[in-house]
Chains A and B, each alone.
Chain A
Amino acid sequence: MNRILIKGGRVIDPGTNRDGRFDILITENKITQIDKKITPKGAKVIDARGLIITPGFIDLHCHLRDPGRPDKETVESGSRAGIAGGFTTLCCMPNTEPVIDNEGIVNYIIKEASRVGLCRVLPIAAITKKRQGKEITEFGELIKAGAKGFSDDGDTVANANVLRHALEYSKIFNVPIFEHPIDNNLAQDGVMNEGFSSTRLGLKGAPTIAEDVIVARDLLLAKFTGARLHLCHISSKGAVELIKKAKQEGVHITCETCPHYFYFNDEVLETFDTNYKVNPPLRSEEDRKAIIEGLRDGTIDCIATDHAPHTRAEKELEFTRAPSGMIGLETALSLCIMELINHHQFSWLELIKKLTLNPARILNEKLGVLQPGLPADIAMIDPEKRWRYTENRIQSRSKNSPLLNRELKGKVVGLIVKGDIKYLPGNKDV
């Protein structure tokens, strides 16, 4: 029997409210024991002294561009990027070519993920056929094939009646609907946040109200239908306030933000670096602070990456012509540590909850917890490690990150997925 003992690390597990020195024993693909001191008895021992041991991270929102754009990313390259960043589960968005709106494509992704065998890949299928916002997809068949939620990400379901019916229909299966909340009529062809920075730079702005009005509408729809609505990549102060109020009223909703919305503000656009062009756009400093407070007070449930690979040729276009999105799987943890733990004194339990337990709950999966009997998906973090994010070490097939060549702090240095060691502390490539 294959046994691994992770010894001497500081275990941080929000699911069991554990923060302390524990040993973890893994047998085959499951956790079998967590105790103050476990004797190896022939198990392979990993010396985890000085490291933080957490459940593997779960990304609710990434773009693997598979099928359709292997020049940007594939299930394979995306999985490599995911595990490099400490993610053991990736939810991939359906705005692929063709769109993930039928069982065939769900099957393809699941087969491909199992062939690659690096981490769990859970497909999110489209809410509407071809993401056209008109007719809802066959939720039942898609779930049977393995879809874990539904989203037209990249576009809001603009017609409120279509979204209403999607929410109602989703109740049969108790699955989350992931909404991309941006009103395109208000956002128009804005390429950055509308505000003082866009005024200075002369780039066309998309206002925060483009996000807020859809969030407000969606909260009303969630309340009306009683379905499980999850709001993607929240970036504005107004949206945080609306969601906070709705949660106080007991509306069943969840939401995520991304590291770039709490790490950067729109002043960085003065470089005209297209790697800062994302959708929704990087917001003002006031919004950024509201996102951090929303994470702190629990209004924002999860941190997702919105990992969005684009080719170099596309990102080398002029600012208005370049596509939106930045890659983020490999840098997410560092930004969380540098900004939330170091600058804003978040506790590790708080942070790790948003990367593990909360996304697992939204997906309704028995993941994201360190407990005997549960799958051994485990990350080992060196919170002090300083490392440079160079093009050579990027595992993603695309390199569109504004963090390129910057020194970052904190890294996952060991990872176990389903009891299988992907890499270990001390490996020189980590």
Chain B
Amino acid sequence: MPEKNLLGIEPLGAEDLNRYLDQADNFLGVLERPIPIVPALRGKTIITLFFEPSTRTQISFSIAAKRLSADVVNFSRATSSVVKGETLLDTAKNIEAMKIDGVIIRHSVPGAAKILADHLDAFVINAGDGGHEHPTQALLDLMTIRQHFGRIKGLKVLIVGDIAHSRVARSNIFGLKTLGAEVGICGPPTLIPREIEKLGVQVFCSLDEVIKEFDVIMALRIQLERQKSGLFPSIREYRNFYGLTRERIKKIKPHGVIMHPGPTNRGIEIDPEVADGNKSLILRQVKNGVALRMAVLFIHAGGKIE
């Protein structure tokens, strides 16, 4: 049995990770059916609580829950508009009173999912807590890599961009390392968090020098406000050194692939031609996302396949 909640990838072992990936592979078949629905979670009520806007992730979770026949309630509100005095704990108590089976939470503050998990009987799935973790994104990335290469162990994966503020980077580093990949990170030193090499990753700042050595290049979304806080001088310069441009992509290995958690800043961290090109797995990631989130909900809600 897995833990009640899925709060992060860091504590999970290879067996836990493979369990999610295997189950997700099974659900891919369901999604190919003319009526892509199974009654596995019939009667279960799941709420998506998004305190930070993320249309894609919320839709992906909603669809996953509906494909499993669960009842889904969606709630979204920007943290900034949360009434003063109302705490996440109040929210948790309200949910508890409404007898909901599972909560999917997205929040701008690290540890927010844990606050809910500590106070709820319902299972909690972290859909991103600040710069901390985004476990389902990492799992769907692992699923996509495994699907494409047939394995993860021994592959070389380079994560490019704003590592410091990225929950996607953290969760992927934990998952990739656990499953035996070699992980490099690359970005301007202002966006590389201190002592990250202690996680067993190699740190680079010149993308051009290392891009040819990796099987998977994973670009991260660059938040435009980072430029305003002085972490890099301009969007133009960022693109020149760290963008996955058409020119730069010519250097990657013949079998190398490009990934991105979305949504992309087209023309900044990735050129449109690259995002839509034949080395891109981006749409594959989106499709796998639904199957993977079905697997997560199925496992945590204790679903049954008849």
Minimal Cβ-Cβ distance residue in A for B170: A202
Question: Which of B87, B88, B129, B130 sits near A313, CB closer than 8 Å?
Answer: B87
Extra contacts, 10 of them, besides A202-B129, A202-B130, A320-B130 (Cβ < 8 A), are A196-B194, A199-B196, A200-B10, A202-B110, A272-B111, A272-B115, A318-B107, A318-B109, A318-B115, A320-B110
Could you say which interface size class chain A belongs to?
A: 20 to 34
Cβ of A201 within 8 Å of any chain B Cβ, yes or no, is: yes
CB atoms of A195 and B195 under 8 A apart: yes
User: B109 contacts which of A199, A313, A319 (Cβ < 8 Å)?
Assistant: A319
Tell me whether B193 is interfacial, beta carbon within 8 Å.
Answer: yes
Q: How near does chain B come to A7, taking the closest CB pair, in angstroms?
A: 50
B110 contacts A194, C-beta separation under 8 Å: no
In chain B, positions 121-173 with a C-beta closer than 8 Å to chain A are 129-133, 165, 167, 170
Whether a CB of chain A sits under 8 angstroms from the CB of B29 is: no
Q: List 15 A-B contacts (CB under 8 A).
A: A194-B194, A195-B195, A196-B194, A198-B194, A199-B193, A199-B195, A202-B165, A202-B170, A203-B111, A203-B130, A203-B131, A272-B114, A316-B87, A318-B107, A320-B109
Instruction: Give every chain A residue within 8 A of B132 (Cβ-Cβ).
Output: 201-203
> Is B110 within 8 A of A313, CB to CB?
no
Contact status B194-A318, CB under 8 Å: no
Number of chain B residues whose Cβ lies closer than 8 Å to a Cβ of chain A: 27
Q: In the complex where A195-B194, A198-B193, A318-B88 touch, is A204 in contact with B112 (Cβ < 8 A)?
A: no
Determine if B254 is an interface residue (Cβ-Cβ < 8 Å): no
**In the complex, which residues of chain B have a beta carbon less than 8 angstroms from the beta carbon of A199?**
193-196, 198-199
The SS class assigned to the B binding surface is: loop
Give the docked Cα–Cα distance between A318 and B87 (Å). 8
Q: Does B34 contact A (CB under 8 A)?
A: no
A residues with CB within 8 A of B: 194-196, 198-205, 207, 272, 313, 316-321
Residues of B near A195 (CB, < 8 A) are 194-195
At the interface, yes or no: B89 with Cβ under 8 Å from chain A? yes
Q: Please state if B107 and A205 are interface contacts (CB–CB under 8 Å).
A: no
Q: Is there contact, CB below 8 Å, between B110 and A203?
A: yes
Contact bitstring B102-117, A, C-beta under 8 A = 1, else 0: 0000011111101100
Number of residue pairs across A and B with beta carbons under 8 Å?
64
B102 to chain A, nearest CB (A): 21
Q: Of all chain B residues, which has the CB nearest A314?
A: B87
Which chain A positions have C-beta within 8 A of B43? Answer: none
Q: Is the CB of A319 within 8 A of B194?
A: no
B2 located at the interface, meaning its Cβ lies under 8 Å from any Cβ of chain A in the complex: no
For A274, the closest partner residue in chain B by CB is: B111
Across-interface contacts of A203 in B (CB, < 8 A)? 110-111, 130-132
Question: For residue B110, which residues in chain A have a CB less than 8 angstroms away from its CB?
Answer: 201-203, 272, 319-320
The 3 closest A-B pairs by CB, nearest first: A272-B111, A202-B131, A202-B132
- Tell me whether A196 and B195 are in contact in the complex, defined as CB-CB below 8 angstroms, given that A203-B130, A272-B111 are known contacts: yes
Instruction: Tell me the minimal C-beta distance from A182 to chain B in angstroms.
Output: 18
- Among A195, A199, A204, chain B packs the most CB atoms within 10 A around the CB of A199
